[in-house]
Amino acid sequence: MFVLERNQCGFNAEHDAGWRYPTVELLDRRPFFASEDIYCILDMDEGYLSFATNKKYLGVAFRGLKGKTLYPIVSCVWGQCEITMKYLGVCEPEPPSLMEACRNSILERLEKKKNMLIQFVNFHFQSH
């Protein structure tokens, strides 16, 4: 749960009061006011969830999510609010290593040669 109005983040609200989010350091000691767009950044490889606006990265809100099942939910209590959720895509954690790129290239060429050999053998067996 990320409560904009109170600058608070938390979960299991019945048993946990939550914590200040975004942190005071990120806000220059001013309260956070929501911009037009708020982005939720989920990194399941590293196991964290963070938020950002068009102008500022707000930092990590939740950690320890690796291997967990999450259900994205957005709500608003203000009557004149419009909420849209849009999946913006996936980012690869890092580019492939040179060794991995070479291995993929070699396997790709071997596969092509194997297919050419199979076609050659099939052609000669069919013609005889």
- Looking at residue 61, its pLDDT comes to 85
Q: What is the mean pLDDT of residues 64-81?
A: 80
* 1 pLDDT above the threshold of 60: no
Lowest-pLDDT range of 2-16, 43-57, 65-79, 102-116: 2-16
For 21-41, what is the mean pLDDT?
66
CA atoms within 13 Å, Cβ hemisphere of 81: 12
Total-model pTM: 0.54
How many whole angstroms separate alpha carbon 112 and alpha carbon 40?
42
